[in-house]
Amino acid sequence: MTKSIGTRELADWLDGTLQATRFKDYCPNGLQVEGRERTGHIITGVTASEALLRAAIERNADAVLVHHGWFWKNEDPRVRGPRRTRLALTLAHGLNLFAYHLPLDAHPQLGNNAQLARVLGLEPERVDGAPRTCGPDGLVWLGAAPGVATLGDLARRIAERLGREPLVVGDAQHPLRRVAWCTGAAQGMLGDAIDAGVDAYITGEASEPTVHLARETGTGFIGAGHHATERYGIQALGEAVARQFGIRVDFIDIDNPV
């Protein structure tokens, strides 16, 4: 018989591990849609898109665990169009939908920032064993990029390890001593990174004012891709679930160029 766990027990473990209640987020974290009472097979992915849901259904999964879930603040709450399709698929097939946004970004071992550091070979600064951070909720990590001398070197490493060319603002020969990073759409925290005294900041996206701020302060900026920088935390979380409960967890990467 395939091993399974009570869905409520799983939800409690995830909430506790990620300290979900600690964050004032843009969406509800945790079990967003309740399905089957027991979970034995989980599909993880970055976003709870229709494509990911259909892949989970095809594989007879009991739950979907993602970084980007549903019910974002200021969204149109009406259930129609793509929202209706996603919700109908989830309910019709008894899927549990778990989503963790900021709690997954911030976790010191499993989180997106921690896992991006691992993939890119970044070395976080530590204070009493914890990563040194800045910005709201300590979401921006501070550290160094050993083996990387310039902004251009860092951009080349990112392209190689993430499999896509990043957006780079700044002189490729700009020397690097200290860097900061925050995955996803964290371009608005560039100012916090600058105030912390870094030479370059890595995130997923850029907005129009980002370029001017980077240029005018002489701070290197790298937009490495929202999806590309957030593929790794959800994989680490899924692997932790599999170790903890001995159930099947599979990651599916739905390609996204953004």
The answer to whether 123 is annotated as binding is no
Residue located via tokens 């990073």: 181
67 is in an annotated binding site: yes
Q: Is 226 annotated as a binding residue?
A: yes
Letter for the amino acid at 32?
Answer: Q
235/249 Cα distance (integer angstroms)? 9
Q: Which run of H or E residues covers position 183?
A: none
Q: 68 a known binding residue?
A: yes
Q: Does the annotation list 105 as a binding residue?
A: yes
> Alpha carbon of 46 to those of 70, 123, 241, 254: distances in Å?
12, 24, 16, 8
Any residues with CB less than 8 A from the CB of 34 and at least 6 apart, and which?
A: 7, 96
Report the C-alpha gap between 39 and 137 in whole angstroms. Answer: 32
Annotated binding-site members:
67-68, 105, 226, 230
Annotated binding-site members for a divalent metal cation:
67-68, 105, 226, 230
